[in-house]
Structure 1
Protein backbone atom coordinates (compact mmCIF):
# COMPACT_ATOMS: atom_id res chain seq x y z
CA UNK A 1 0.00 0.00 0.00
CA UNK A 2 1.18 3.51 -0.73
CA UNK A 3 2.21 5.62 2.22
CA UNK A 4 0.29 8.86 2.06
CA UNK A 5 1.23 12.01 3.88
CA UNK A 6 -1.13 13.46 6.47
CA UNK A 7 -1.66 16.40 4.09
CA UNK A 8 -2.74 14.07 1.26
CA UNK A 9 -5.03 12.16 3.59
CA UNK A 10 -6.58 15.35 4.98
CA UNK A 11 -7.24 16.65 1.45
CA UNK A 12 -8.78 13.32 0.54
CA UNK A 13 -10.91 13.39 3.69
CA UNK A 14 -12.23 16.86 2.78
CA UNK A 15 -13.05 15.73 -0.77
CA UNK A 16 -14.82 12.57 0.39
CA UNK A 17 -16.77 14.47 3.06
CA UNK A 18 -17.84 17.07 0.47
CA UNK A 19 -18.90 14.30 -1.91
CA UNK A 20 -21.01 12.67 0.81
CA UNK A 21 -22.71 16.00 1.51
CA UNK A 22 -23.40 16.67 -2.18
CA UNK A 23 -24.79 13.17 -2.73
CA UNK A 24 -27.06 13.42 0.30
CA UNK A 25 -28.46 16.70 -1.00
CA UNK A 26 -29.01 15.22 -4.46
CA UNK A 27 -30.64 12.06 -3.15
CA UNK A 28 -33.67 14.04 -1.97
CA UNK A 29 -34.37 15.00 -5.57
CA UNK A 30 -34.99 11.41 -6.64
CA UNK A 31 -37.80 9.07 -5.74
CA UNK A 32 -36.81 6.03 -3.69
CA UNK A 33 -36.58 2.96 -5.89
CA UNK A 34 -35.33 4.80 -8.98
CA UNK A 35 -31.97 4.01 -10.53
CA UNK A 36 -30.65 7.48 -9.65
CA UNK A 37 -31.65 7.05 -6.00
CA UNK A 38 -29.98 3.63 -5.83
CA UNK A 39 -26.84 4.96 -7.51
CA UNK A 40 -26.57 7.76 -4.95
CA UNK A 41 -27.31 5.42 -2.04
CA UNK A 42 -24.50 3.10 -3.18
CA UNK A 43 -22.16 6.03 -3.76
CA UNK A 44 -22.89 7.46 -0.31
CA UNK A 45 -22.19 4.10 1.32
CA UNK A 46 -18.90 3.79 -0.61
CA UNK A 47 -17.90 7.32 0.41
CA UNK A 48 -18.73 6.66 4.08
CA UNK A 49 -16.56 3.54 3.99
CA UNK A 50 -13.82 5.54 2.26
CA UNK A 51 -14.07 8.27 4.86
CA UNK A 52 -13.70 5.78 7.72
CA UNK A 53 -10.68 4.18 6.06
CA UNK A 54 -9.01 7.57 5.54
CA UNK A 55 -9.74 8.58 9.13
CA UNK A 56 -8.28 5.28 10.29
CA UNK A 57 -5.16 5.83 8.20
CA UNK A 58 -4.82 9.35 9.60
CA UNK A 59 -5.00 8.09 13.16
CA UNK A 60 -2.28 5.55 12.31
CA UNK A 61 -4.19 2.56 13.67
CA UNK A 62 -2.19 -0.61 13.33
CA UNK A 63 -5.12 -2.75 12.30
CA UNK A 64 -7.97 -1.22 10.36
CA UNK A 65 -9.84 -4.53 10.56
CA UNK A 66 -10.81 -4.02 14.21
CA UNK A 67 -12.10 -0.49 13.63
CA UNK A 68 -13.98 -1.46 10.47
CA UNK A 69 -15.55 -4.65 11.73
CA UNK A 70 -19.01 -3.35 10.92
CA UNK A 71 -18.26 -3.61 7.18
CA UNK A 72 -18.42 -7.00 5.55
CA UNK A 73 -16.11 -8.17 2.80
CA UNK A 74 -19.04 -7.86 0.40
CA UNK A 75 -19.64 -4.25 1.44
CA UNK A 76 -15.98 -3.39 0.93
CA UNK A 77 -16.01 -5.09 -2.46
CA UNK A 78 -19.21 -3.27 -3.45
CA UNK A 79 -17.68 0.04 -2.32
CA UNK A 80 -14.99 -0.29 -4.97
CA UNK A 81 -17.41 0.02 -7.89
CA UNK A 82 -18.68 3.56 -7.09
CA UNK A 83 -15.15 4.73 -6.25
CA UNK A 84 -13.79 3.43 -9.56
CA UNK A 85 -16.80 4.96 -11.33
CA UNK A 86 -16.12 8.40 -9.84
CA UNK A 87 -12.47 8.16 -10.95
CA UNK A 88 -13.51 7.24 -14.49
CA UNK A 89 -16.16 9.95 -14.76
CA UNK A 90 -13.83 12.61 -13.38
CA UNK A 91 -11.02 11.65 -15.77
CA UNK A 92 -13.45 11.87 -18.67
CA UNK A 93 -14.81 15.25 -17.54
CA UNK A 94 -11.31 16.54 -16.88
CA UNK A 95 -10.48 16.15 -20.57
CA UNK A 96 -12.96 18.93 -21.31
CA UNK A 97 -10.93 21.47 -19.33
CA UNK A 98 -7.38 22.72 -19.77
CA UNK A 99 -4.80 22.33 -17.02
CA UNK A 100 -4.84 25.20 -14.57
CA UNK A 101 -8.56 25.82 -15.02
CA UNK A 102 -10.43 25.64 -11.68
CA UNK A 103 -12.67 22.77 -12.88
CA UNK A 104 -9.61 20.77 -13.94
CA UNK A 105 -7.95 21.27 -10.53
CA UNK A 106 -11.16 20.40 -8.67
CA UNK A 107 -11.51 17.18 -10.63
CA UNK A 108 -7.82 16.40 -10.08
CA UNK A 109 -8.34 16.71 -6.31
CA UNK A 110 -11.37 14.42 -6.44
CA UNK A 111 -9.50 11.86 -8.56
CA UNK A 112 -6.61 11.81 -6.08
CA UNK A 113 -9.04 11.37 -3.17
CA UNK A 114 -10.80 8.49 -4.92
CA UNK A 115 -7.48 6.84 -5.79
CA UNK A 116 -6.51 6.99 -2.11
CA UNK A 117 -9.91 5.56 -1.15
CA UNK A 118 -9.54 2.78 -3.73
CA UNK A 119 -6.08 1.90 -2.44
CA UNK A 120 -7.29 1.80 1.17
CA UNK A 121 -10.34 -0.35 0.33
CA UNK A 122 -8.14 -2.77 -1.63
CA UNK A 123 -5.66 -2.87 1.26
CA UNK A 124 -8.47 -3.70 3.68
CA UNK A 125 -9.69 -6.45 1.39
CA UNK A 126 -6.14 -7.79 1.13
CA UNK A 127 -6.00 -7.96 4.94
CA UNK A 128 -9.17 -10.02 4.74
CA UNK A 129 -7.63 -12.25 2.04
CA UNK A 130 -9.81 -11.08 -0.86
CA UNK A 131 -8.75 -9.60 -4.15
CA UNK A 132 -10.69 -6.42 -4.90
CA UNK A 133 -9.49 -5.87 -8.45
CA UNK A 134 -12.18 -4.68 -10.84
Structure 2
Protein backbone atom coordinates (compact mmCIF):
# COMPACT_ATOMS: atom_id res chain seq x y z
CA UNK A 1 0.00 0.00 0.00
CA UNK A 2 1.85 3.05 -1.27
CA UNK A 3 -0.98 5.57 -0.78
CA UNK A 4 0.64 7.21 2.25
CA UNK A 5 3.94 9.03 2.56
CA UNK A 6 6.45 8.05 5.20
CA UNK A 7 5.71 11.37 6.92
CA UNK A 8 1.97 10.59 7.09
CA UNK A 9 2.72 7.10 8.39
CA UNK A 10 5.16 8.45 11.00
CA UNK A 11 2.56 10.91 12.27
CA UNK A 12 -0.03 8.13 12.36
CA UNK A 13 2.39 5.89 14.26
CA UNK A 14 2.94 8.62 16.88
CA UNK A 15 -0.82 9.09 17.29
CA UNK A 16 -1.47 5.36 17.58
CA UNK A 17 1.38 4.91 20.08
CA UNK A 18 0.07 7.83 22.11
CA UNK A 19 -3.44 6.37 22.07
CA UNK A 20 -2.11 3.02 23.32
CA UNK A 21 -0.29 4.75 26.17
CA UNK A 22 -3.33 6.82 27.17
CA UNK A 23 -5.63 3.78 27.07
CA UNK A 24 -3.25 1.71 29.18
CA UNK A 25 -3.13 4.47 31.80
CA UNK A 26 -6.91 4.77 31.84
CA UNK A 27 -7.51 1.02 32.01
CA UNK A 28 -6.10 0.88 35.53
CA UNK A 29 -8.86 3.19 36.69
CA UNK A 30 -11.62 0.70 35.87
CA UNK A 31 -12.43 -2.63 37.44
CA UNK A 32 -11.85 -5.67 35.26
CA UNK A 33 -15.12 -6.89 33.81
CA UNK A 34 -16.71 -3.44 33.53
CA UNK A 35 -17.82 -2.07 30.18
CA UNK A 36 -15.19 0.68 30.33
CA UNK A 37 -12.43 -1.83 31.00
CA UNK A 38 -13.56 -4.01 28.08
CA UNK A 39 -13.83 -1.00 25.78
CA UNK A 40 -10.26 0.02 26.59
CA UNK A 41 -8.97 -3.55 26.24
CA UNK A 42 -10.54 -3.79 22.78
CA UNK A 43 -9.26 -0.35 21.82
CA UNK A 44 -5.71 -1.21 22.94
CA UNK A 45 -5.76 -4.42 20.90
CA UNK A 46 -6.99 -2.53 17.83
CA UNK A 47 -4.26 0.08 18.28
CA UNK A 48 -1.55 -2.58 18.66
CA UNK A 49 -2.70 -4.21 15.41
CA UNK A 50 -2.77 -0.79 13.75
CA UNK A 51 0.72 -0.02 15.03
CA UNK A 52 2.12 -3.26 13.60
CA UNK A 53 0.60 -2.57 10.20
CA UNK A 54 1.84 1.04 10.15
CA UNK A 55 5.35 -0.08 11.14
CA UNK A 56 5.29 -2.55 8.26
CA UNK A 57 4.31 0.22 5.85
CA UNK A 58 7.02 2.54 7.19
CA UNK A 59 9.89 0.38 5.97
CA UNK A 60 12.06 2.48 3.63
CA UNK A 61 10.52 1.35 0.34
CA UNK A 62 12.10 3.99 -1.86
CA UNK A 63 15.69 3.44 -0.76
CA UNK A 64 15.74 -0.34 -0.97
CA UNK A 65 15.11 -2.91 -3.60
CA UNK A 66 12.18 -5.22 -2.96
CA UNK A 67 14.56 -8.01 -1.94
CA UNK A 68 16.43 -5.84 0.56
CA UNK A 69 13.19 -4.47 1.98
CA UNK A 70 11.77 -7.94 2.50
CA UNK A 71 14.99 -9.00 4.24
CA UNK A 72 14.95 -5.94 6.55
CA UNK A 73 11.23 -6.30 7.26
CA UNK A 74 11.67 -9.95 8.21
CA UNK A 75 14.59 -9.10 10.52
CA UNK A 76 12.40 -6.54 12.27
CA UNK A 77 9.55 -9.03 12.52
CA UNK A 78 7.22 -6.71 10.62
CA UNK A 79 6.14 -9.09 7.90
CA UNK A 80 2.42 -8.84 7.15
CA UNK A 81 2.17 -12.60 7.49
CA UNK A 82 3.37 -12.20 11.09
CA UNK A 83 0.36 -9.99 11.77
CA UNK A 84 -1.89 -12.74 10.44
CA UNK A 85 -0.02 -15.32 12.53
CA UNK A 86 -0.43 -13.22 15.69
CA UNK A 87 -4.04 -12.22 15.09
CA UNK A 88 -6.92 -14.19 13.68
CA UNK A 89 -9.08 -12.89 10.86
CA UNK A 90 -11.86 -12.38 13.40
CA UNK A 91 -9.55 -10.28 15.59
CA UNK A 92 -8.56 -8.12 12.61
CA UNK A 93 -12.21 -7.67 11.69
CA UNK A 94 -13.06 -6.82 15.29
CA UNK A 95 -10.17 -4.32 15.40
CA UNK A 96 -12.04 -2.18 12.89
CA UNK A 97 -14.83 -1.37 15.36
CA UNK A 98 -12.73 0.66 17.84
CA UNK A 99 -10.95 2.42 14.97
CA UNK A 100 -14.23 3.42 13.33
CA UNK A 101 -15.59 4.44 16.73
CA UNK A 102 -12.63 6.75 17.39
CA UNK A 103 -13.10 8.37 13.98
CA UNK A 104 -16.80 8.94 14.64
CA UNK A 105 -16.28 10.33 18.15
CA UNK A 106 -13.50 12.66 17.03
CA UNK A 107 -15.56 13.99 14.11
CA UNK A 108 -18.46 14.72 16.47
CA UNK A 109 -16.16 16.43 18.98
CA UNK A 110 -14.39 18.41 16.27
CA UNK A 111 -17.61 20.25 15.39
CA UNK A 112 -17.44 21.99 18.78
CA UNK A 113 -14.13 23.72 17.98
CA UNK A 114 -12.95 26.33 15.49
CA UNK A 115 -10.51 25.09 12.86
CA UNK A 116 -7.77 27.34 14.22
CA UNK A 117 -7.81 25.81 17.70
CA UNK A 118 -5.34 23.27 19.00
CA UNK A 119 -8.23 21.00 20.02
CA UNK A 120 -9.49 20.89 16.44
CA UNK A 121 -6.00 20.14 15.05
CA UNK A 122 -5.39 17.44 17.67
CA UNK A 123 -8.63 15.73 16.71
CA UNK A 124 -7.80 16.15 13.01
CA UNK A 125 -4.46 14.37 13.52
CA UNK A 126 -6.16 11.53 15.39
CA UNK A 127 -8.82 11.19 12.68
CA UNK A 128 -6.13 10.98 9.98
CA UNK A 129 -4.22 8.36 11.96
CA UNK A 130 -7.35 6.27 12.47
CA UNK A 131 -8.26 6.52 8.79
CA UNK A 132 -4.81 5.21 7.92
CA UNK A 133 -5.21 2.40 10.48
CA UNK A 134 -8.64 1.55 9.08
CA UNK A 135 -7.30 1.45 5.52
CA UNK A 136 -4.38 -0.80 6.51
CA UNK A 137 -6.58 -3.22 8.46
CA UNK A 138 -9.03 -3.40 5.56
CA UNK A 139 -6.13 -3.96 3.14
CA UNK A 140 -4.81 -6.77 5.33
CA UNK A 141 -8.23 -8.40 5.39
CA UNK A 142 -8.58 -7.95 1.62
CA UNK A 143 -5.30 -9.82 1.12
CA UNK A 144 -7.03 -12.77 2.70
CA UNK A 145 -10.23 -12.30 0.72
CA UNK A 146 -12.30 -11.03 3.63
CA UNK A 147 -14.85 -8.25 3.28
CA UNK A 148 -14.65 -5.77 6.14
CA UNK A 149 -18.18 -4.36 6.01
CA UNK A 150 -19.21 -2.67 9.23
Normalising by the smaller structure, the TM-score range is: over 0.9
1:77 correspondence with 2:93: yes
Paired residues in the alignment total: 134
Deviation of residue 3 (structure 1)?
A: 1.0
Distance of aligned partners of 1:2 and 1:90 in 2 relative to their CA distance in 1, 3 Å threshold: farther
Which residue in the other structure is 1:17 paired with? Answer: 17
Aligned partners of 1:30 and 1:78: how far apart in 2?
Answer: 22
Distance of aligned partners of 1:117 and 1:124 in 2 relative to their CA distance in 1, 3 Å threshold: same
In structure 2, runs of 5+ residues without a counterpart are 62-68, 71-77
Aligned partners of 2:112 and 2:40: how far apart in 1?
Answer: 24
| TM-score, normalised by the number of residues in structure 2 | 0.85
Q: Over aligned residues, Cα RMSD in angstroms?
A: 1.5
Which residue in the other structure is 1:125 paired with? Answer: 141
The runs of at least 4 consecutive aligned structure 1 residues that moved more than 3 Å come to: 60-65
1:95 correspondence with 2:82: no
Aligned partners of 1:28 and 1:52: how far apart in 2?
Answer: 24
In structure 1, runs of 5+ residues without a counterpart are none
Aligned partners of 2:79 and 2:106: how far apart in 1?
Answer: 28
Larger radius of gyration: 2
Which residue in the other structure is 1:31 paired with? Answer: 31
Aligned partners of 1:84 and 1:32: how far apart in 2?
Answer: 24
